């Protein structure tokens, strides 16, 4: 049977990663304006996310604008949106599956083997969600790096990694590690087996002396 402590630890890590993936998805700081180079105006900072872009003034005033058209967005933004939303939905499904497969719940208590299989399925779904989150954030970050090092990109139009990327990377790692713990089923190999030294075939027969 699966170890309940490992399952609880795995679910906790995966749940924290799930919260982090939601936070990363809704954050606007996926990429931030770069101040590398000369003649850079630092009076304002520009941020772009998956859903809107913002401009922060040196006075503290922040103005945000939601993207008007979905079809006009770059392919990277559209794909990252889909990957992050899919990962969040898979995490929700996996949480409900784990509620049935956890050793600390009473659901399917009479079928321990099936219960472990359900827990294993939930862990696999968590790992898939973590990989989707990792792919989405890494793809977006790779695009930022490409544009930054592209010599044709104007200096004042270059961006660097935003805080949402780091949150997404950390969330992906937590989800994958948590899912891996949930997939670790510690079977009780010693139960239900015959003893190491079976009784002698002469046991119970009269007239036999045993040392």
Query: Cα–Cα distance between 50 and 56 in angstroms, integer?
Result: 17
Question: What's the fold here for domain 4-28+71-182?
Answer: Butyryl-CoA Dehydrogenase, subunit A; domain 3 (1.20.140)
Separation CA 83–CA 77 (nearest Å): 10
Residue predicted with more confidence, 193 or 20: 20
Helices (H), the chain: 4-26, 75-101, 112-149, 163-182
Q: How far is CA 164 from the centre of its chain?
A: 14
pLDDT in tens, 30-73: 988 877 655 455 667 888 889 888 887 777 778 888 888 777 88
Domain parsing of the chain, residue ranges: 4-28+71-182
């Amino acid at each position: 049977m699966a170890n309940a402590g490992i399952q609880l630890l795995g679910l906790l890590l995966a749940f924290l990663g799930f919260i982090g993936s939601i936070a990363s998805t809704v954050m606007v700081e996926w990429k931030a304006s770069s101040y590398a180079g000369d003649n850079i105006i630092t009076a304002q900072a520009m941020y772009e996310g998956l859903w809107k872009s913002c401009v922060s003034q040196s006075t503290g005033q922040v103005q945000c604008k939601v993207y008007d058209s979905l079809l006009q967005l770059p392919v990277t933004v559209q794909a990252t949106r889909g990957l992050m939303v899919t990962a969040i939905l898979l995490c929700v499904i996996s949480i409900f599956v784990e509620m049935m497969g956890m050793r600390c719940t009473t659901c399917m208590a009479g079928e321990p083997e099936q219960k472990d299989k359900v827990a294993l399925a939930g862990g696999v779904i968590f790992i898939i969600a973590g990989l989707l989150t990792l792919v989405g954030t890494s793809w977006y970050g790779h695009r930022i790096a490409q544009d930054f090092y592209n010599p044709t990109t104007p200096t004042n139009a270059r961006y660097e990694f935003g805080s949402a990327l780091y949150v997404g990377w950390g969330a992906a790692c937590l989800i994958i590690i948590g899912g891996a713990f949930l997939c670790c089923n510690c079977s009780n190999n010693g139960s239900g087996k015959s003893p190491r030294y079976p009784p002698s075939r002469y046991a119970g027969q009269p007239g036999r002396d045993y040392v």
